[in-house]
Every structure is written in structure tokens, then in C-alpha cells.
Amino acid sequence: MFSTARISSFVVQTVIALLVISGLVMTTILSIRYLTDQAAIGRDNYWKAEIARSEAEAARTIIEQMKLAQKEDQKAQAEIKRLRDQLDNLEKENAKLPDIFGSGIDRDRTRLLNNHSLTDRSHTN
């Protein structure tokens, strides 16, 4: 029926076929692994670029806010100086007025205070 030569030939062909199939499977697995690695590298590069762009935008925003805060601080310092100067002038004018003993604030001091109050209102508007 079956000769040993035929059985040996069949076994050899089967082994060769199995080796070829396992080689193809390994090649396919390695190709899939390579493609997924490349996809991961591409994804990582994309997100690194997005993070860098976002950080640069945040840095620009922070710089703009710092510049704005600095301008507002300068305005506030100028207003503080103006008010201090005004207070100094008011105190000097008050010191020049005669010190009259009485029951309250005299007419000149009242006028001085009224003028001071009016300049504050006109400056804030």
C-alpha cells in the first residue's frame, strides 16, 4: 500500500509546508508589530507637537497678562503719587491757615476741604 519512500516524502513535504507557513506567520506578526510601532511613534510625535504648541500659547498669554498687569500697576502708582501730592498740598494749605480757637472748623478750612472734595470727584470721573 504505502511505501516508506512515499511516507518519508509526504512527511518531508509536510514539514517544509509547516516551515513555510510558520515563516509567513512570523513575517506577518513582525510586519504588524512594525506597523503598530510606527503608528505609536507618529501618535507620540503628534501629541508632543500639540503640547509644545499649547505651552507656547500659554507662555504668550502669560507674558501678555504680565505686561497688562505692569501697565495697570504703573497707573495705580501714578494715582497713588497724585493722591499723596494732593494730600501734601492740602496739609500745607491747612498749615498756612491761622489757628483760630473756636467751637468748630472755621470758614477757610471748610472751603479748603470742600475744594479738596470737589477735585477728588472731578478726577475720578
In this prediction, residue 125 carries a pLDDT of 47
Rounded CA separation 35/25 (Å): 15
DSSP per-residue string spanning 52-77: HHHHHHHHHHHHHHHHHHHHHHHHHH
Each residue of 4-34: pLDDT tens digit?
878 888 899 999 999 999 999 999 999 999 9
> In this structure, what C-alpha cell is assigned to residue 42?
507618529
Q: Longest C-alpha distance within the chain, in Å?
A: 146
120 confidence band (pLDDT: 50, 70, 90): low
Q: What pLDDT is recorded for position 80?
A: 97
Q: Could you tell me how many helices (H) and strands (E) the chain has, helices first?
A: 2, 0
Higher pLDDT pick, 112 / 28: 28
* Average of per-residue pLDDT values in the chain: 86
Would you kindly state where each structural domain of the chain is located, as residue ranges?
4-124
- Whether the per-residue pLDDT at 37 is higher than 80: the answer is yes
